[in-house]
Structure 1
Amino acid sequence: MRILVATDFSPRSQRAVRRAGILAARSGGTVMLMHVVDGPGSRETSQDIREAQRMTVEQIAVVPELYRIRCDPLVVRGRPSDEIQDAAVVHDVDLIVVGSPHRTRTRYTGRTLRNLIRNAPCPILVARRSSASLYARVLIPVDFSDASLRALQSAGSLKLLDRAHVTVLHAFEAPGKSKLSGFGVGRDQIDSYVEGCRSRCAEDVEALLASGGLVDRDWSRRIEEGSPQEAIARLAERFPADLLVLGTHARTGFRKALLGSVTEDILSTGGADVLVVPPHASGRCRQPRPPMHAGWSEIAQAAPRLVLG
């Protein structure tokens, strides 16, 4: 697995770097540690690039999860979301890992993340927790769209579900339920109506899994009444997850993802890591240009000698 991890050397991106190392070690993959320098190409920007090169090498050296992992540095100048996207295309990346967005102004803000997800050629893993282990509990909310199927399959192919307890969640609302009592329908009949809706949704979940060849997986299924926000909150309180997997729809992009505003709400608050699986981006990415970056040998020569303990 080829992993690109974006860093701005903050504690948030440090979590992303550590997570990338954990996943690379599990899959026998490689890591590209990327930093983007903003600026018009002035002398100050050139100095920033040299400093970023030095800091990137240092970060590779001091992060224990990267020990014995092939990790290449990449420092470029430009707009973060564009440069990360271009690098992912040029280097045929399987997964992009970024730190959690923050309300304060940094290179990898919520806006950058949104722009990246709209055009990303591969899944984006947003690392929000510090961890030294693989994911143990994974929650995958689904509707019955291609986006949900793509999210399920991508999480499996990236080996994020190995050895994890996986729960597939579907939230439903029984149409017209709130009006039934006003028409004199008894409680037992209303409950029966709701259970009928739940049963049909359970069948649809099984059909979704079967369409992806996933029906035989030893995964829990939860069919919860209520909005997606309510269902996720209830389940997270009873069974805290390490990872939440969400798919996005091609027709509306990030701001209208699988769960509408739920996805953006999740990313703006603390909690589990989030894997966002965007639509296939073929034909939607900008034509990649050769990245401006220094090679490993050039960067290593510019950086101070580092000793691994």
Structure 2
Amino acid sequence: MAIKTIIVALAFEQDCQHIAGRAVQLANEHNAQLIGVHVLEGIDTAETWMPSSLELDALTVRITDENRQRLSETLSGTKIPAMLHVATGKPFAVIEDLAVSYNADVIIMGAGVARNAREKFFGSTADRLVRRSPCPVLVVRDFNINAYRHVAIGVDFSDHAKAAVTAASNLVPAASRELIHAMEIPLAFEQAMRNTGTSQAEIERYRQARAKAARKQIVDLFGDKGRLPSATKIRIARGDPSSALLTASRRSGTDLVALGTQGNNAVAQHLLGSVARKVLAGSGCDVLAVSATASA
């Protein structure tokens, strides 16, 4: 599927040149329409220095105009002139609504940080969008904005993994791909094997057999007639998925990690933990996350 519309969310109180640069690079690569958005979270009308609603309206207009001009300057390098959108509201809600309205193919933003207790519990704007965005979300962490060359994609045998592979292939069709499947023997099961006299060599053969079976399943699921697409390889990693992806993200040559996420409930995500959240927090490169909503 062609990438036709890209939304980039910029928060000017933070360093966002690399985020804007990545958005411009991808928009030009795909000859796509770029929509720049900056969200004002509102002015506290209870402040004693605010004498009248008239002055508040004038101040809002001035701030909006200033931010629109800054958006225009920051995104001036696109082949197709960028559309600019400055709005007041909750950032995640404004960006989500905009993505739906324009049928966006991808949202680009920074990782952000939790600014208060509520965000520490429910997540930053990036966390919330990753959970519920109608399209894939590219979280920019790296200051290098050269074209992506190698993407590591976390895969299991779910529809979420299929969606992640598809999204990565659409966004960076020329990049080489590494399908990473994390596999581990539960500690209790391994201990039971040892207690029944299973040797270390037999346990290792069991691991190798599981890895071989997983590799075949991956080829069957993501390949065509028993063959994977060119420039695609499989890595079977020991351990949990988040550790495998974080290791891949820090490997020389990897400049993008992609993964599918699960669940739309913020409380459940917080209580259960999330591979996506761990990867977003610790990745050594940019992260492309595909929510359950985006993959539906």
Q: Which bracket does the TM-score occupy, shorter chain normalised? A: 0.7 to 0.9
Q: Report the RMSD for the aligned CA atoms in angstroms.
A: 3.1
Q: Match for residue 134 of structure 1? A: 147
Q: Match for residue 202 of structure 1? A: 215
Q: Is structure 2 residue 67 aligned with structure 1 residue 55?
A: yes
How far 1:178 moved relative to its partner? 3.3
How far 1:24 moved relative to its partner? 0.5
1:82 alignment partner AA: A
Aligned CA distance change for structure 1 residues 202 and 100 (closer, same or farther; 3 Å) = same
State the distance in 1 between where 2:68 and 2:79 align. 17
State the distance in 1 between where 2:143 and 2:294 align. 30
Q: Is structure 2 residue 188 aligned with structure 1 residue 178?
A: no
Alignment of 1:7-46 (within 5 A): 7-39=10-42, 43-44=55-56
Aligned CA distance change for structure 1 residues 45 and 128 (closer, same or farther; 3 Å) = farther
State the distance in 2 between where 1:114 and 1:274 align. 12
Alignment of 1:96-111 (within 5 A): 96-104=107-115, 110-111=123-124
State the distance in 1 between where 2:199 and 2:226 align. 41
Is the 1:15–1:99 Cα contact (8 Å) retained in structure 2?
A: no
Aligned counterpart in structure 2 of residue 78 of structure 1, from 89, 94, 117? 89
Aligned CA distance change for structure 1 residues 59 and 82 (closer, same or farther; 3 Å) = closer
Unaligned runs of 5+ in 2: 46-52
Aligned CA distance change for structure 1 residues 238 and 114 (closer, same or farther; 3 Å) = closer
Aligned CA distance change for structure 1 residues 96 and 233 (closer, same or farther; 3 Å) = closer
How far 1:244 moved relative to its partner? 0.7
Q: Match for residue 4 of structure 1? A: 7
1:31 alignment partner AA: L
How far 1:184 moved relative to its partner? 1.5
2:95 alignment partner AA: I
Aligned CA distance change for structure 1 residues 92 and 237 (closer, same or farther; 3 Å) = closer
State the distance in 2 between where 1:35 and 1:213 align. 46
* Secondary structure of 1:36's aligned partner: strand
Aligned CA distance change for structure 1 residues 197 and 25 (closer, same or farther; 3 Å) = same
1:84 alignment partner AA: I
Q: Is structure 2 residue 230 aligned with structure 1 residue 217?
A: yes
Aligned CA distance change for structure 1 residues 61 and 75 (closer, same or farther; 3 Å) = same
Is the 1:129–1:272 Cα contact (8 Å) retained in structure 2?
A: yes
